[in-house]
Amino acid sequence: MSADLKELYLRKDSVAQDYIDISQEIFVEINNYFKIVDCNLKFCRFMNKPRTAIFGTSILEVIHENDKVRFQNIVRNALLKKFREGSIKISIVDSKERIFPVSFKLNPVLNESNNIVGLFLNFSMFRIRTEDSAVNTIYQSIHNSLTDLYTIYATDTKIRINHVNVSLTNILGYTVEEMKGRHVADFLVKNKEQEENIKNLFRSLEENGKFAGEVMYEAKNGEQIPIHLSISSLVHNGKIIGSLGIGRDMREQKKLETENKSFALQLQNQSKLAEFGMMLQGVAHNMSTPLSGIKSSAQLQHSRMESLSESLNGKFGSDIEIDAKIKEIMKFFDLIDQSVSKLSKIISNLMSKARDQQNLNKELLNLGVLLDQELEFLLSNQFFKDKVEKIFAISKDLPVIYGLYSDFSQSFVNIIKNAIDAMWNSQVKKMTINVYCEGDNIFVKIADTGKGISKDVGNRIFLPFFTTKPKFRDAAVNEPTGTGIGLDSVKTLLKPYGAEISYVSELGKGTEFTIRIPVSLNKKN
């Protein structure tokens, strides 16, 4: 501080006080015990407190941890009249824990007896000049060449952030000011799954001064973001001054990995389905021959009993009791004939479905007929057959579309099975299915009276491997379990057809899924 300024301050009149208050430099008066006895408005703004709240506090609260001991020694020497000439460089910390490099000068405050009763400190902020540094030029080139996928932060020795790049602020949704001065751990996801990860990170930094691995950042909006993070120590003049962390956003890679895993599972399921279909066709074919024999025998015995009745009546006349017993036996053979016919129809449908599921070539499809056939097979589920009220309004008069049978059959069945599972504990168990055409679109609506989908789950239900159902080992007896690939596969299978999938749900009342399939987009060329 210049002699003129010092004189102004020591005058303590209104003109001097006004000048000091409007100054862009920081002025603080402390006593022999490091307590603040006066300050200017710039310092009040720096600390975000009124003067009355600052008076009596320690100036050491403002001094950066790394500089406290040095600052105390300088002040003690000054109180012993051992003043250092020129500016002294240290770092100070504001109310938001942001770190600022400053230079400061000090002057004694004397009483009437000419004894030092305190010090007058003048802090001047400055920018560290690095623009012309060769190292800085290289750093800036690397910094600017990194894409938005890469994040950079730097910290002090206490792992408090003092630098972040734009990519990191964009990813996390915080401003630079909101991140500076805060501990790195403030931005990491803290849950049981990540607890060990975070411990490993700080253990590695403490033991080796570096870390490489995957962590989860938590954005301002609560989103959890996987980052592959590499941290190393920052060394200047042989002294560790902090750490540098460079991260890569893993969201896109995770998404691709998940999609590949989901696709692999679909291929695996298709392979199993084809194998099962071939076995099913073989079993159905082998069953057809004995069933034909049973049907023929029943029809033959029915005919023979009819002939026997006529012969007895011709020889001995009509006998009411004998006629009634013969008719009862004939009804039994009729029942066998009808049951075999039903079983033959089921086998025929089973063979047809097996052929359709194995068919990897697109064909003309009537979605109403297809869904009707799928529902026939779902009736093998006793819970669905006996416990669920079914209301179906499935139009067969639909425009045909060109597609793969299994894409639609698997998609419809996945949603219907989810609906059945959702009603496992419901008092009212009712499923409503509507299929109709409106304009250029075919609509398939599948509604249940199950437990519903909570709002916090939202569109996560379409993420692969996400499920609200218990895992097999955690489920109660006969309770439905989930793998989390059902709705994800629906979205994947129907995406090539331009289909839109939406739902409305109310907790405790049920859910309705709507699939809209454009007709003109799926015509055979």
235 neighbors 241 (Cβ within 8 angstroms): yes
Per the model's pLDDT, the better-predicted residue between 371 and 253 turns out to be: 371
211 neighbors 201 (Cβ within 8 angstroms): yes
Nearest to 450 by CA among 389, 378, 375: 389
CA angle 474, 480, 486 (to 5 degrees): 105
Q: What pLDDT, in 10s, does the model give residues 334-389?
A: 878 777 776 766 666 666 655 555 555 788 999 999 998 888 878 877 888 889 99
Please name the helix (run of DSSP H) or strand (run of DSSP E) that holds residue 81, with its range, or none.
Answer: none
Percent of the chain scored above 90 by pLDDT? 19
478 DSSP 8-state letter: T
Spatial separation of the C-alpha atoms in residues 20 and 2, rounded to whole Å: 13
Percent of the chain scored above 70 by pLDDT? 78
pLDDT tops 60 at residue 114: yes
Q: What pLDDT, in 10s, does the model give residues 150-159?
A: 888 888 888 8
Highest mean predicted confidence (pLDDT) among 135-149, 206-220, 380-394, 504-518: 504-518
Per the model's pLDDT, the better-predicted residue between 33 and 476 turns out to be: 33
pLDDT tops 60 at residue 272: no
Place of tokens 């020591």: 10
Q: 144: pLDDT confidence band, cut at 50, 70 and 90?
A: low
DSSP states of 367-423? HHHHHHHHHHHHTTSHIIIIISEEEEEE-S----EEE-HHHHHHHHHHHHHHHHHHT
Highest mean predicted confidence (pLDDT) among 13-17, 48-52, 248-252: 48-52
pLDDT tops 90 at residue 168: no
Nearest to 485 by CA among 463, 500, 468: 463
Spatial separation of the C-alpha atoms in residues 141 and 286, rounded to whole Å: 74
Bridging pattern class, strands 210-218 and 88-93:
unpaired
Spatial separation of the C-alpha atoms in residues 93 and 63, rounded to whole Å: 6
Q: Read off the tokens for 288.
A: 């057809």
Domains of the chain: 3-125 (3.30.450.20), 134-249 (3.30.450.20), 253-358 (1.10.287), 359-525 (3.30.565.10)
- Cα dihedral value 274, 275, 279, 285, nearest 10: 30
pLDDT tops 80 at residue 147: no
pLDDT tops 60 at residue 472: no
189 neighbors 289 (Cβ within 8 angstroms): no
Instruction: Tell me the C-alpha to C-alpha distance, in Å, between residue 202 and each of 98, 127, 419, 463.
Output: 22, 31, 46, 32
User: If you average pLDDT over every residue of the chain, what do you get?
Assistant: 80
256 neighbors 264 (Cβ within 8 angstroms): no
Give the pTM: 0.40
Spatial separation of the C-alpha atoms in residues 36 and 50, rounded to whole Å: 13
Spatial separation of the C-alpha atoms in residues 299 and 339, rounded to whole Å: 12
Spatial separation of the C-alpha atoms in residues 217 and 184, rounded to whole Å: 10
Q: Read off the tokens for 68.
A: 């406290």
Compute the average pLDDT of residues 42-53: 90
Spatial separation of the C-alpha atoms in residues 348 and 284, rounded to whole Å: 8
Nearest to 162 by CA among 86, 65, 259: 65
Nearest to 278 by CA among 373, 349, 351: 351
pLDDT tops 60 at residue 3: no
Indicate the burial class of 286 (C-beta count within 10 angstroms; 0-12, 13-18, 19 or more). exposed
Max Cα–Cα distance, the chain, nearest Å: 155
State the amino acid at position 293 in one-letter form: G
Amino acid 377: pLDDT: 77
Spatial separation of the C-alpha atoms in residues 439 and 443, rounded to whole Å: 10
- Neighbouring CB atoms inside 10 A of 219's CB total 15
Spatial separation of the C-alpha atoms in residues 370 and 435, rounded to whole Å: 11
- Neighbouring CB atoms inside 10 A of 160's CB total 20
State the amino acid at position 248 in one-letter form: R
Amino acid 13: pLDDT: 46
